[in-house]
Structure 1
Amino acid sequence: MKIALLSLGLLAATTCSNPFNSGSKAITGMQLDTAKWNAMHEQYKEQALFHRRFKHKDVDSLIQVHQGNKLFQVSQIGKSVQGRAIYELEYGKGDKKVMLWSQMHGDEPTATMALFDIFNFLEGKGDGYDSIRNLLHDKLNLHFIPMLNPDGAERYMRRNAQSIDLNRDARAGQTVEGALLRSRAKAVNPRYGFNLHDQNIYYNVPGTKNPVSISLLAPAFNTERDINDIREGAMQIIVGMNGILQKYIPDAVAKYDDTYTPRGFGDNFQSWDASTVLIESGGLKGDPEKQKIRKLNFIIILNALIQIAEGSYEQYDAKGYEEIPFNASQLHDVMIRGLEFGSDSISLKSDIAIRRGETTVDRDYFIRGRVEDIGDLQESYGYDEVQADGMKFIIGKIAPQPVDSLKNITKEMAYDLLKKGFMGIQVKGLAVGQANSLHNLPIHVFAGNSFATTPVIDLGGTTNFYIGDKAGNLKYAILNGYLIDLSKPLSEIPELKNRVQ
């Protein structure tokens, strides 16, 4: 699909053909090319937010800085169940009212980072982008709620402190936070809404192994999923977003499920006459902290605001929205194809799908890999894949000699042991507090008398074994759900997130 390149120039109005429907009206408006977007984000990226597990106090301190700069009208609009402040930042004096809310699920922080990047940009000056700021200030009245669920964010969990999903509380308004968003929607009466989330990283573009990096949706406002002018406006905004995204992540954009959810905020905002766009930040290989996807959020949100201010989004043909495929759910962390792992009496050659689960430890986390599926998995995909025809399952061993201190295990030593068939090593005399400490070593470290490697491939079971040739030569290690090619140097091993057992 051909996408018109965007160019900044002097930020004058330009005309280009609609890339999604050659029979539609011409697109006019302020445009930026990808190089300008990249430079803009690099300049204004909020450096204090650099990983997913930031806390409310991090956001609070940044909001105080922005309040001191006096560009935004900053208000504490309420408190969470556990008493944490919830803020709204208002910008612009225009007639078009826009509400943007993020992190109503505490473990979905990608767009929150992007909003603070946008705040920094709006406070910029004299950098060649003042015409954008003037446009947004004069045409829009923006209302940002950057962290609606601070209690969930504190523990990096989806729900609030009462274990209620805020995005299923739009109808009842039973929670403090849900009722707050409802009341702000009533007070502001926005014409546009942006509902900002993260989706799991296992969605793929149908028929491909491409992870969905950004999922978009114009939520339905009724069970029939009818399209009125309000919902069509959201679809048109999404067509503009997709045009930019295809420049960055071609064939990695999809639509979220559009089944009507009467309890959901996006669906309700749409029924409250606000053209509402759902943005779901998904997965991108090599971007575990979602910093690249954060940049994409910055770009598509800011560009959408420009197009709303201009009214230029109205010239997109909403049919382009229908051309975006829906999410498929066929992706795993590791896919092993055609591995022999049967018993001595019954042979078995099959596919194995592996996924990794995260457990949060304050601002960090560790991983536990598990066997997600076994069988004929031709239609499933992996971020990493192994064609294991002619190879077999090999049980890992424990290093025969324990070590006296965790400090004695270097990455080089651990990798050497791993390549020799040892997946675990005992550490004697661990100091208090070290028994569950986190590490990035390419081997399991345990403090007790034993550590169980994977004796058999079992659904839901552990993922600590080798893949080798028929002669028993080790080719790959599956260590806690990570695929490690044993022919690669240590420098090419992925960063592991393990914990002392």
Structure 2
Amino acid sequence: MEFAKLFEQYRIPHLSGRYVTLNHIEPLLAERNTNNQLQVLGQSVQGRPVYAYTIGTGKIRILMWSQMHGNESTTTKALMDFLNLLHSGTELADNLLRDFTFCCLPMVNPDGAEVWTRENANGVDLNRDAFHRSQPESQLLRKIFEDFKPDCCYNLHDQRTIFGAGDTGKPATVSFLAPSFNEERHIHHARARAVGVIAAMNEEIQRHIPGQVGRFDDTFNINCVGDTFQLLNVPTVLIEGGHYPNDYARDVTRKYIFIALLSGFEFLNENVIVSNGLQEYLNIPQNKICFFDFVYKNVKINYEDSEIITNFAAQFKEELSDGKLVFNAYVAKIGGLDDFFGHVEWDAKEAVLYAGGDSNIIEVDQKADFNLGKNVKVVNGIVEN
């Protein structure tokens, strides 16, 4: 299957950028509601609809949900691209719809998406509410899980730009996890099935972005949705979209999420048992916090009344301004960067830092606007000349 070509064919161009809200996807869902596939499960805390889109007649039942963290939109875009493929009328679409029944919740947390926060309107992380189910959105997800009775679940998320794929020096553009179902991290039938799906997805993704796949820590947490569903004997796969070089809009990363979904479905449809799936899964390097967005090396600064040559880092914060998402860079760490990489690195070659006037003092949390020497200007973290 030509996965990359399929993505380019079915990507929805006008659904782009990081800031994706219910207003962006409601028209797309309505357009694809050709046979009463769209259902309102209920309302969020602030009364926004939480949608489920169910399509297909196959015996393999797949439940997928995205944006339960409001500020994690990459997988929502990829999920909508996939629904676009299912409506293509092609042989591939027909085969998928014959073999599978898909139930998709593209935005579990519409309130958080609106204001670009991880939590819902009550300040609760929905992915830490699986046990108590104190929030209406958590209750809706659990109800559709019980009513739909999936054979496999896909828990779709984003991760920050700070994660690398182990010690490779490469960003974790896609990360996976087959969640544990107990504190001992045992492998039972459901988890083994999830491991096999991930091994198949990783094999395909490595063909496109070798070395840029990570694996999350599998410490058991009953409050997490994936751990709970795995405990209930339903294979559950966590997929996280991460950073691809120069892709802060995550419109490249969405391609690899789309590819992961399709390759996973191909594996499930073949219904094969992979004898070395666990080892292939464990060979995926664990995610490691080892990146900043910007690292500036060999900079002369004033530190505790002495001039020193050091390295420092800056990181983007995603902030809403007048209904638009902006990336504002702030100084994140000064010194102690031996074990860190920068998505962008700049060697100042011992140039003096000027951070406003003639000051060569820089502090954590200040805006990343400064000069390096007399000729290099940095604005919002980016070297302009």
Task: Give the shorter-chain TM-score range.
Answer: over 0.9
In the other structure, the counterpart of 2:80 is 116
CA drift of 1:366 comes to: 2.8
In the other structure, the counterpart of 2:378 is 478
In the other structure, the counterpart of 1:369 is 329
Give runs of aligned pairs for residues 12-23 of structure 1, distance below 5 A.
Answer: none
Paired residue for 2:370, among 457, 462, 465? Answer: 465
In the other structure, the counterpart of 1:41 is 7
Kept after mapping to 1: 8 A contact 2:354/2:361? no
Give the share of equivalent positions with the same residue, in percent: 31
CA drift of 1:396 comes to: 4.4
Runs of 5+ consecutive residues of structure 1 not aligned to the other structure: 1-31, 398-452, 487-501
Cα RMSD (Å) of the superposition?
1.9
The alignment partner of 1:143 has SS state of strand
Q: Give 1 or 2 for the bigger CA radius of gyration.
A: 1
| TM-score normalised over the length of structure 2 | 0.94
**For residues 344 and 100 of structure 1, do their structure 2 counterparts lie closer, same or farther at Cα, with a shift above 3 Å needed?**
closer
Paired residue for 1:50, among 16, 21, 24? Answer: 16
CA drift of 1:278 comes to: 0.4
Rounded to whole Å, the distance in 2 between the matches of 1:168 and 1:138 is 35
The alignment partner of 2:383 has SS state of strand
Alignment deviations for residues 94-145 of structure 1 (CA, whole Å, 9 cap, x no partner): 222211001111111111111111111111124xxx1x33432233221111
**Residue identity opposite 1:388 in structure 2:** A
Rounded to whole Å, the distance in 1 between the matches of 2:11 and 2:304 is 57
CA drift of 1:341 comes to: 1.1
**Residue identity opposite 1:41 in structure 2:** F
Kept after mapping to 1: 8 A contact 2:58/2:97? yes
**Residue identity opposite 1:39 in structure 2:** K
- Name the count of aligned residue pairs: 385
Question: Does residue 93 in structure 1 map to residue 53 in structure 2?
Answer: no
CA drift of 1:365 comes to: 2.4
Kept after mapping to 2: 8 A contact 1:101/1:145? yes
In the other structure, the counterpart of 2:308 is 348
**For residues 177 and 391 of structure 1, do their structure 2 counterparts lie closer, same or farther at Cα, with a shift above 3 Å needed?**
same
CA drift of 1:343 comes to: 6.4
In the other structure, the counterpart of 1:59 is 25
**Residue identity opposite 1:93 in structure 2:** T
Rounded to whole Å, the distance in 2 between the matches of 1:287 and 1:366 is 14
Question: Does residue 153 in structure 1 map to residue 119 in structure 2?
Answer: no
**For residues 345 and 326 of structure 1, do their structure 2 counterparts lie closer, same or farther at Cα, with a shift above 3 Å needed?**
closer
CA drift of 1:312 comes to: 3.4
**Residue identity opposite 1:310 in structure 2:** E
Runs of 5+ consecutive residues of structure 2 not aligned to the other structure: none
CA drift of 1:222 comes to: 0.9
Rounded to whole Å, the distance in 2 between the matches of 1:93 and 1:207 is 44
In the other structure, the counterpart of 1:411 is none
**For residues 195 and 477 of structure 1, do their structure 2 counterparts lie closer, same or farther at Cα, with a shift above 3 Å needed?**
same
The alignment partner of 1:144 has SS state of strand
Rounded to whole Å, the distance in 2 between the matches of 1:87 and 1:342 is 54
| TM-score normalised over the length of structure 1 | 0.73
**Residue identity opposite 1:81 in structure 2:** V
Give runs of aligned pairs for residues 58-457 of structure 1, distance below 5 A.
Answer: 58-67=24-33, 69-70=34-35, 73-126=37-90, 130=91, 132-312=92-272, 314=274, 317-342=277-302, 346-361=306-321, 363-397=323-357, 456-457=361-362
Alignment deviations for residues 335-374 of structure 1 (CA, whole Å, 9 cap, x no partner): 1222221369623121111112121125422333222111
Rounded to whole Å, the distance in 2 between the matches of 1:57 and 1:370 is 30
